[in-house]
Amino acid sequence: MLTPDPLLPVSGGIGMPKPSHEKKGDLFARALVLEKGNTRIAIVSVDNLGWTSILGDRSRKLIKGIPPENILIGATHTHSAPDAYAFPDENGKTGADLKYLDWCTRQIADAVNEAIAKLQPAVIKTAVGEAKGKIAYNYYAPDLYDPRCGVIQAIATGGANKGKPIATLVNYAIHPEVIGPDRGILSPDLCGPLCDRIESKAGGMALFMNSAQGGMVTADNRLPDGKEANDYKECARIGNLLADEALRIIADAPEQHNASLFCAYKFISFPIASPVMKFILIHTPLKSPYVNTAGDSIQTRLNLLNIGTAQVLTIPGEALPNIGYYVKRHMRSSQPFLFGLTNDAFGYMLTKVDFTSFKRYEYVSRTSLGEQTGEIYIEQALSLIGECPPADY
């Protein structure tokens, strides 16, 4: 559980966090640990806007029995959780609660260590299918989003829950910003009801990993009168619908009895070209050791996983949906998963031709590391895919 008590201000992006007066749902760190032979990996979902490697690495140090490079920590991107970037204002002051963040890193490590302690024999099921219904759309251009939903389920092969799900992972691109930071509410947004619904219908634990949801794939809370539904009821409608779709998509997937489990990684660097991003990265009290001494480049880790017939690639930020489509098409699996905002969350990632192009892209360009971010990501992602074995066939 990551809900602060008392409540803290919430952040939906760069700038000072906004006060919260009530909570709707709770914030969580949810962990799935997979093991086969000598390979053990952890996938962690954190209810926050973004979770940088400086915080992730604090947890990795406290996790026993999994190499740090096999621990993938992603943010759900809820816009109603405390500031985890410690965004500095023009005077270098921050509205973040560093003690809360440190507590979270221990809670996250505890969640993974608990999952390790509870490892039990299982088979997996994986599937990718189109999630139907009013779930997401692209706020900039309604149809330009990826409706594919990836699902990974671990089914117990023994014990009291034999045949039942131990965990269900849902991978889908969406901005959980139904409530947003301006309503005085702290909330996991639609990710809370999504996980609750899966856990109540299927059993076991559920976790949500976001995907390529940048510029600007968001929750479809549009109302017929041109307004938007912005309450927790709408979070529940969308979360429940995505949960039901995910369970439908995975329902008929075959059990994979000798699924391979593979984890690889690669360090990559991005130039920090944007003045805004440079200011934040240099002046935040959570300054990353991965920023070079000149302050003009930052390093991060990409991960590639094969989990049976599924392949997973991480994105250290918010890739636009066209980048998502392109990378998925080049992955060596008919079940491509993209874990967005995972290991790091550097803002938007656009292709160089999209960068500062449409007026619509002004905001996402400004909150991007620079023109080369998308290009470098695509090139490095494709090279990592090429270096790794394909998923099971």
- Catalog residues that contact Zn ion under the rule CB under 5 A: 318
Residue 355 CB partners (closer than 8 Å, separation 6+): 361, 365, 368, 370, 371, 374
Rounded to a whole number of angstroms, the minimum distance from the CB of residue 8 to Zn ion is 20
DSSP code, position 264:
E
Pick 318 or 354: Cβ nearer Zn ion: 318
> If DSSP codes are grouped into helix, strand and coil, which group holds residue 217?
strand
Pick 48 or 333: Cβ nearer Zn ion: 48
Pick 245 or 318: Cβ nearer Zn ion: 318
Rounded to a whole number of angstroms, the minimum distance from the CB of residue 189 to Zn ion is 12
Rounded to a whole number of angstroms, the minimum distance from the CB of residue 348 to Zn ion is 7
Pick 196 or 318: Cβ nearer Zn ion: 318
C-alpha to C-alpha distance for 219 and 134, rounded to whole angstroms: 8
Pick 217 or 388: Cβ nearer Zn ion: 217
Pick 127 or 277: Cβ nearer Zn ion: 277
Residue 364 burial by Cβ neighbours in a 10 Å radius (0-12, 13-18, 19+): buried
Residue 290 CB partners (closer than 8 Å, separation 6+): 53, 54, 298, 299, 300
Structure tokens at 229: 């539904």
Of all residues in the shown chain, the one whose CB is closest to Zn ion is 318
Pick 126 or 343: Cβ nearer Zn ion: 343
Peptide bond into 216 cis (omega under 30): yes
Rounded to a whole number of angstroms, the minimum distance from the CB of residue 133 to Zn ion is 22
Rounded to a whole number of angstroms, the minimum distance from the CB of residue 345 to Zn ion is 9
Contact 389, 333 (CB under 8 A): no
Pick 83 or 318: Cβ nearer Zn ion: 318
Rounded to a whole number of angstroms, the minimum distance from the CB of residue 3 to Zn ion is 22
The dihedral sign for the CA sequence 203, 209, 211, 217: positive
CA 279 to chain centre: 24
Buried/exposed 128-138: b ≥16 CB within 10 Å, e otherwise: bbebeeebbbb
Contact 367, 318 (CB under 8 A): no
Rounded to a whole number of angstroms, the minimum distance from the CB of residue 72 to Zn ion is 19
| Of the candidates 205, 210, 180, 209, the residue with the CA atom closest to the CA atom of residue 195 | 205
Rounded to a whole number of angstroms, the minimum distance from the CB of residue 318 to Zn ion is 5
